[in-house]
Structure formats: C-alpha cells, structure tokens
Structure 1
Amino acid sequence: MTTQSPLVRPLFIGSEIYRGSSYGAWHPLRVPRVSTVMDLSRALGWLPSQQYITSPRAKPVAISAWHTPAYIAALQAAEAAQGVSEEVRRRHHIGTHSNPVFAEVFRRPATSAGGALLAGELLANGGRVYAPGCGTHHAMPDRANGFCYFNDPVLSILSLKRSGVKRIAYIDIDAHHPDGVERAFEADPDVLMISTHEENRWPRTGALGDEGVGNLFNLPLPKHSHDDDMAYVLSELILPALQTFRPDAIVLQCGADAVEEDPQSTLAMSNNAHFEVIRALLPMCPRFLLLGGGGYNPWSVGRLWTGAWGVLNGIDPPRDLDDAPRRVLQALTWSGHSRAKNRPKYWSSTLRDDPRNGPVKDVVRERVGKLKKRLLVHV
C-alpha cells in the first residue's frame, strides 16, 4: 500500500477529448455526454479546479494488463489509417456497425483507460473519485464489443489491486449486462460483482442462474422496472451483500440508460434511483470509484451524471436550475432522433426527475429472494 494520504475531497477525472469526438453521425454515441457533465457541473459551481484532473492517456503496456498487444496495436493502426482490413474486422470486431472506426478510435478509449488506472492509484488510501468517461464494461481482451474498445472497469479494478486493495465490490446498474467485467472476475473470490440489467436486452448474458466460481450475482430486471423496484433491490440484495462481503473498495458503474427517457432500454427509472444507490453505497467503504457507462439521451445522461457528482460531494441535486445551467442544457442537440422534437421542458429546467414509483413487481421480489439464498452460501 502506498503512503499517500486519503483524498480530502472527491476528484473528477475528465478530458476535452470527449467534447470533440463522436462515434459518427448515425451512432447512438454521437451525443455529447461527459462534456455536458463538465459544463453543467461548472455552471452549478460544483467543479472547482482543485477537484478536476485531466485524464492521462494510458500507454499500450498499461492497457495490456487485460487487453492483448495485438488488439491494442490494431486499434492504433485503425486510428492511423482510419480503416481496417476484413481480417482485422473479423478478429477484433473493429470497423463494425457497433464499433466503428472514428478519428479518435484509439485515443479516446485510451484516455478512459488512463482515467481508470489513475483512479485506482488515487484511491490507494481512501477517498472518492468520479470518472464519467469510464464504464465501458463490454470490451473483451482481444476485441471491441458493444460500443466499448477498452474495458476501463476491469482496468480500474486491476489498478486498485496493484495499489494494495484486496477486496473489491463492483456494482453495475447499467441497463446492459457487464459481460466483459464478468469474464474478467467471475473466478476471483476477492471481487464481488452485482449487476442489475434489463432482461432479454443485448448482450443477453447475465442470467439469474449464472454463478461463476467467485462472488457473482446477476439480477435481470423486467421491462418498466421503476424507482421502487430498484430501491427494493438496493435494500434487500445490494446492501446485505456489501455488509457481508465487507469490501475495501466499491466501484459503481452508473449507466444512465436505465432511466425512462433513454432510447436503448425499456426500463422506467428516474435519476433519483441512481442518486439513492450512490448515497447508500458511499458509507459502506473507505474507497469509492464512480464510473459512467451507458446513456444515449443527451439531456437525461447529462442531468443524471451531473447530479451524481453532486451526491458524491454531499450536494442534493436541485429541482430548479439557474440561468447558467439551463443554458448548458438548452444548447444540447440530438440530431436525427424523434425524442428531441417537442422535448419536455424539464429536460432543460431541472436536474432531478419526478420520482417514478409503483408496487414492487413480484418477479423482482422472487429473483431477489433466490439471490439472497445464494448470498448466504457464497459471500
């Protein structure tokens, strides 16, 4: 363990590379996300220079802690040539519809990887770090997968381990199952992984019965799961698992695609569900790393991830916004998507959604009950 002192205040790891880069005009990740969080946080007065760190770009040797040298080199070559051969496309899944070649196809994911690796070092002796550009939980060692080129959640956990942190809990509340992270740690008894994700949603992994060898808990959620469903999962599964596992660090992947406004899922949560998960997890552990993830509506993801930074700093996300943060949200565009037309006023006027409540679904209770029985045996 290093001898540095615990972090006094939460740190935000960001980069301007997210402002200017896009996966392409037709891709779901054409929308601004991290840059909106940076701009909105500054407009709210929440991001002083002392708490902001520019993410380094990870070097290939550091990325090779989990990814193969051949794959890393293929991404570098794809960026230089702005194209790939059919052989590279087949082997590494670069240049596909989901994982296109774009101008920063190596530099952008390498920057996210650098932020993840740095976060593990910064948290060696405790504290809170936010890296909204991270959360690419689908990438595999030798191929891109699901809009993800490097798996920065995996790299962050490996960085924490190198910093001397032994027991790590990875919680993922993205609408999509973290198949890459599961592959990395399914046999590691020192990593607890709990994923809530929409059932029958791509990549269609993470079934309730998938156990692995380590501490692995997958909870597929039915369509239209709302705030009270997530609150039940939090109180009845996630918190008891953490209390039993007693992690030295928590990594929370806070994908914003589980909210009702997102086009890539049919879950129906408000951003309050995510805020409550963060609040509940913060006291559970001396080291807390918050990552971004999915999120494809620029207004809902910007508002959620900015509110998450507020919660990390002990600030209650406000209902009413002043002129400066409103202008940030009003300036957003979402080209080519029908939801951007006649958008509701609250997308630009408030940070906090109205709650989306309802009876806890019987299937959620049933599945949580099955996982709690396993919890008594495995953790």
Structure 2
Amino acid sequence: MTPLLLGSEIYRGSSYGPWHPLRVPRVSTVLDLTRAMGWLPPDRFRASPRAKAAALTLWHTPAYVTALARVEATQAACETDKARHGLGTISNPVFPEMFRRPATGAGASLLAGELLRDGGRIHNPGGGTHHGMPDRASGFCYLNDAVLGILSLRRSGVRRIAYVDIDAHHMDGVEHAFADDPDMLLVSTHEERRWPFTGALGDAGVGQVFNLPLPRAANDDEFALARDRVILPAVERFAPDAIVLQCGADAVEDDPLSRLALSNNAHWACLAALMPLAPRFLLLGGGGYNPWSVGRLWSGNWAVLSGQDIPERLPPEAEAVLRGLRFDGNSRGRNPPEHWFTTLRDPWRGGPVRAEVVDRVAHLAARIGRMPGRPV
C-alpha cells in the first residue's frame, strides 16, 4: 500500500488554551510543511474521520465517553467530571474541541488499523496520546488513540504487535492496557523522574515490557546505544506482524517540557531501523511543545516513512511555513536560531555515554536475551 498520511483541518486553530503547552500548532504545520516540500500529493493524504462514541468504547468506558462529549457541548465540567474523569483540570482543560479533536486523532488510528490489514505504512501525527486511561483523561490525553489503533489492528486479524515509544514521558496508558498480553511487546524510552513517574527500570510487568528511563541530558550517542542494544533486538526477537511507533517530539533538546538533549536525527534513525522489521507500520505523533521542533521532526518522519530525501536547505515555500510560526509565552520563542527556519535536520547532538546508561541498557539486553522468540 502507498504510504499514507492521515490528518485533519480540525487541528488548525484548535488550542487547549492561551497558556497551555498545547497552544502551539503541530499537525497543521506538518501538513503545510510536507505540502510545501512536495511530499504530500493527494494520493498520499487521507482526511482523518472522527471516531463515533461506539468505536471509542472499544477501550474507553461509555460513562467517560458520554461525559467527554457532554462537557464539550456545555463547556462546563462539574466536580464529578473533574474527580472521576479528570476533565476540566489544568492539564486537561475544557476547550471548544475537547471531544472532536481527540476523537479525530482516535479515528485516524482506528482507520489505520483497518487500512493496514494487508500491510503498508501510515503516519498519524495527530495520534500518540498514550496517557489516556479507560475512564479518565490524563496528561493532555483525553483518549488513547494508540490503544485504539492496536485494538483496530487486532480486529483486522493482526496478532503480534510491537509498540515502541520514544516520547520523553512514559507510556503509562498503553502499558495499562497491554502489560499482560503475551502477543504484545512494549518498549519505552523516556526521561527518568518525569511525570507520570512510572516506567522505572524494574517495572517489567508480567508480559514483555521493557522500560528504559534515560537520565537528564541524554544525548544522541546514548540513545543510539539504547536503539541498537534494546529497541531493535527486542523487536527483531519478537518478530511482530505490525509495529506501532510513538514518536513524541518532546524528547529533543529544544522542547520546554523535558530535559533530554536528543536531536531529531535520533528519532529518524530509530524509525528507519524499525521500518523493515514488520510488514505493517503505524507511526504516531505524541508529545512536543515547541512548534518548530515538532513541525520539523514530524515532517522528517513522513519523509523517512515515505522515502523522501531530506535536503540540507529548505525551499523558500517550506521556509516561509516555519518563519510564520509563533511561540508566545515561552523564552525559546524569543530568538529562534536560524536553522529552525532553513533546515529540517538538527545538528547531531552526541556526547559521552554515561555508565548509568550503559548499565541500564545491559540490564535490559540481558532480559531481551532470555525473551522467547516467535512461536513456530
């Protein structure tokens, strides 16, 4: 199947509020930038459908889905909505599209599971909301499209699925859903001692769960070690029928909500290495709160997924997209470096590989070596 990008205009102008980290444009920037690059002809784009309430209850509780739709309609959350469902909080505020926007991201992942029945590659940059829980919103995530996408793949007959998550924050919602599933592999790299404060090295779960917390300022060379000794060997040994990669852009150095020091090269290299390992590939967005780093990284993701060459210098049309972005209310937006406008690729951000990273990688590599391979 021709690689597809699933997107929607609902993200353009939609915001969680003027001071929320998700006030910045993300999916709309990817659509504009990839079109300016000539990478997104009409046959490679499909508008994301909005998931219906019945489809969302494939994992979310009916009471929660009903509450989410009602709070959007009334633009008011009662105390029960806050206490039970996490709606109307600082992290998960009431805003005009608070049901329709996440339902669109979920609809794209549900559709992707159907379209990937016979193989292919799909990018859903509006997906990756990996903190959502069955009965409540969590961590800016009102729904969990990653879980819904995996369940959609299962309904399409896809059995063994590897879920890899390289967001700065741990994949707590997806782990909650699948930690005990023998036909799931879960691998997460994330910043240690960062919200939601789960995913410690010893949190192995019952199933095939591999959590690798990275120390503050983890660099490209340290991530490359994690990729080559943990992520790739685990996926190769598991031999999945499909891979779902959550590619949160908050793991790069320029993001305001984490303290990792990766470049977007780390994400692109991980994506490129994983792509040949399964006949079906679903690439999701995730975190990312700097509009330039998110737009550049996820557009580069699409280039890798669809076989495009990333030029050293952007054409004027693409440069204009990036120069048109604003980042009000954050110091990183006051004096953006020139390369945020003129290139997609960050400088390589390598450095020493610290002993604590080597030890954690070795611990997980030993576990991977004992993991049973794919049954014959």
Q: State the TM bucket, normalised to the shorter chain.
A: over 0.9
| Distance across 2 between alignment mates of 1:376 and 1:328 | 46
Partner of 1:26: 19
Further displaced range: 101-110 or 334-343: 334-343
Give every structure 1 segment of 4 or more consecutive aligned residues whose post-TM-superposition deviation is greater than 4 Å: none
Q: TM-score, normalised by structure 1?
A: 0.97
Counterpart pick for 1:312 among 282, 305, 311:
305
Q: Which residue of 1 aligns with 2:363?
A: 370
Cα drift, residue 15 of structure 1: 0.2
CA distance in 2, matches of 1:285, 1:51: 21
Amino acid of the structure 2 residue aligned with 1:288: F
Q: 2:240 and 2:89 mapped to 1: Cα distance? A: 38
Using the TM superposition, name which of 195-204 and 316-325 deviates more.
316-325
Taking the TM superposition and a 5 Å limit, the aligned residue runs for 1:211-222 are 211-222=204-215
Q: Which amino acid aligns with 2:321?
A: V
Q: Which residue of 1 aligns with 2:260?
A: 267
SS at match of 1:20: coil
AA paired with 1:102? Answer: F
**Range moving further from structure 2, 316-325 or 78-87:** 316-325
Is 1:287 matched with 2:275?
Answer: no
Point out where structure 1 has 5 or more consecutive residues left out of the alignment.
1-6
Instruction: Tell me, in whole angstroms, the C-alpha distance in 2 between the residues paired with 1:365 and 1:311.
Output: 28
Q: Secondary structure in 2 aligned to 1:336?
A: coil
Which of the residues 54, 75, 78 maps onto 1:85?
78
Indicate the residue corresponding to 1:355 in structure 2.
348
Q: Tell me, which stretches of 5 or more residues in structure 2 are unaligned?
A: none
Q: For 2:268 and 2:303, how far apart are their aligned partners in 1?
A: 9
Offset of residue 20 of structure 1? 2.2
Question: In the TM superposition, what is the alpha-carbon distance from 1:33 to its structure 2 partner?
Answer: 0.1
Q: Name which of 54, 74, 77 aligns with 2:47.
A: 54
Tell me which residue corresponds to 2:317: 324
1:158 counterpart = 2:118 = no
- Mapped to 1, the partners of 2:16 and 2:260 lie a distance apart of 25
Cα displacement (A) at 1:376? 2.5
Tell me the secondary structure at the aligned position of residue 146 of structure 1: coil
Counterpart selection for 1:106 from 99, 117, 120: 99
- Alignment partner for residue 201 of structure 1, among 178, 194, 211? 194
2:132 is the alignment partner of 1:135: no
CA distance in 2, matches of 1:316, 1:240: 27
What is the distance in 2 between the residues matched to 1:273 and 1:315? 17
Q: Does 230-239 or 172-181 show the bigger shift?
A: 230-239
CA distance in 2, matches of 1:176, 1:88: 25
Distance 1:69 1:250 in 2: 28
Normalised by the length of structure 2, the TM-score is 0.98
In structure 2, what is the Cα distance between the partners aligned to 1:108 and 1:41?
Answer: 21
Q: Which amino acid aligns with 1:20?
A: G
Shift of 1:315: 1.9
Q: Mean alpha-carbon deviation: is it higher for 216-225 or for 337-346?
A: 337-346
Identity level (%): 63
Alignment of 1:276 with 2:269, yes or no, is: yes
Corresponding letter in the other structure for 2:160: R
What count of residue pairs does the alignment treat as equivalent?
Answer: 372
Distance in 2, Cα, partners of 1:317 & 1:259: 18
* Aligned residue number for residue 116 of structure 1: 109
- Distance in structure 2 (CA, Å) of the matches to 1:16 and 1:359: 42
CA-based RMSD of the aligned residues comes to 0.7
Q: Which amino acid aligns with 1:299?
A: W
